[in-house]
Structure 1
């Protein structure tokens, strides 16, 4: 009987083309589009040009020097600050009169830079200009040390350097994928199950067909399990499909991300990720089933499940800045956190049987608890038949 209910619900769900389009295909295409967008954004070889507005009175020698700096386009204007406010320049620069001449004569002329603190582009332009000026400043200091026969090391009591422990050139790409993969896969799992889960109990109540279903000789637990299995199938299928599409897209349609998942690890990545998707999809389906049981109409069920599409961002944001080496047992035991931790491990090439076991085990435990609660609720007419019961 479970198979009969499962088959009926699954066929009904797949007949609705809107469900397939809105809950599976469109979110997946949108998510995969993010891969191309982020790759183009982070791996853009052509540096962006920033416009620097300077005063008309700037001497030609200083103007020529600034104009030769990489990534900067210098423009003489009457009012540099107003030019930035009008959006015609990124930053405004005021250099002291005869800036370079005063440096040659041993002086210490000033430069004032003005930028919109709320502009990310302005911050990037300021950082670029700051790098150029610091390089020039160090060169001038070194020259003055030599002119006065001074040892530069005397003025530097100690030196320090900051180095990355990363050994692979693909680490930056791995970090980017560790952000994109959870967004794509988890969002696909959740969005795929919401329409069916909202209709599977709340819809039956609203159409007054649940009572007829209960009059059949089918046990309540079989109905519950069959309907849950339907939502789980859709969520899991969507998650696995998103995983496969994610791997195919990064391997064959990108340049900067293609080597993150080695060719000999593609099958292992998809296989292990499918196990995680199955565990997480089943867990999410259990939660959706409970919310649908609580609702009396499809609209009400939508109100209950809509926060679910936002709350999953909390573990995503909290784990974004956590290194794969900093992941602990707790991360793999807490539902919702564990799927993000697992994805991060796999992206960085860590395949741990213990981690997979903890993800699956903790998910099964929560699913069992929710099923016991769902079975109890299913025996009460108040939850199965709605308010009118």
Structure 2
């Protein structure tokens, strides 16, 4: 160390050797930190030498890079784009789940499904009516959640409120947000209905549906690191993920009719497929009788 300091003071070129293991993450991180520290020390030495020779140190720094966001409102909008879709998806799932459990697994557990099937009503009609009931509860829960979130942000926050400035498109954004709530409620109701038909008891239905509802956490982690101008086709074609993608666009004030159409059609296709499979199971006494 003494030889290194003597070389620096005399103006000679000194050599530093860093010994580490590049295959170790901890070692690589430590080497990076040490290297950055020596780079800072090097700049300080060069600056001092230039001052001693009467040279302006700014000659070695011809330009300065300043990083600036496209919009100051992006911070608030990004937070909203993570929070609002996750809250809506979880609220709709949790709000509609009890009715789904009770309308299928609950009736099997309480021995009332047999009496219901004896009525002169087609099983497909019964299935459709139960699905509409679950969907309606999900839509109502989603609308209430959206209103509560908007009121809380508008009246009880300062930083997030700036992310709600939509200008002239506010009514279109509200309209399409309601459409997203309805479409996801239909998809969520179909999934809950299927898990409740397969289950024999309410607790069993809960154990089946809980992992499905927890899938909503993964799109949040994926979508949060993607800009609204970086979305691809599959972001709007995959159910659940497309809900987060569309809501993120809407929260940034972007209305893309093609993306909205892809989201609606993909979710409707998934609902039809799940509904057909649920109907096949519901027509068999093996799955509807306790």
TM-score normalised by L of structure 1:
0.61
Report what 2:259 is aligned to: 355
Change in Cα spacing, 1:326 to 1:312, as seen in structure 2 (3 Å) is same
SS at match of 2:154: helix
1:148 to 53, 62, 66: 53
Instruction: Please list, as runs of the form range in 1=range in 2, the aligned pairs for 1:1-389 lying within 5 A after superposition.
Output: 142=47, 144-152=49-57, 155=60, 161=65, 163-164=67-68, 166-262=69-165, 264=167, 265-386=169-290
Check conservation: 1:324, 1:344, Cα contact below 8 A. Answer: yes
Distance (Å, rounded) in 1 between the aligned partners of 2:43 and 2:144: 55
Distance (Å, rounded) in 2 between the aligned partners of 1:139 and 1:178: 43
**May I ask how many residue pairs the two structures share in their alignment?**
260
Distance (Å, rounded) in 2 between the aligned partners of 1:229 and 1:162: 54
Cα drift, residue 354 of structure 1: 1.4
Cα drift, residue 144 of structure 1: 4.7
Check conservation: 1:174, 1:348, Cα contact below 8 A. Answer: yes
Cα drift, residue 294 of structure 1: 0.2
For structure 2, which runs of at least 5 residues remain unmatched after alignment? 1-10, 12-32
Change in Cα spacing, 1:178 to 1:154, as seen in structure 2 (3 Å) is same
Q: Pairwise CA RMSD of aligned residues?
A: 3.0
Deviations 1:122-173 (A, max 9, x none): xxxxx9xx99xx7x997886455222223435655x7573634x33211111
Check conservation: 2:166, 2:253, Cα contact below 8 A. Answer: no
SS at match of 2:163: coil
If each structure's helix is expressed as a fraction of its own residues, which one has the higher value? 2
If each structure's strand is expressed as a fraction of its own residues, which one has the higher value? 1
Q: Larger relative CO (CA 8 A, sep 6+): 1 or 2?
A: 2
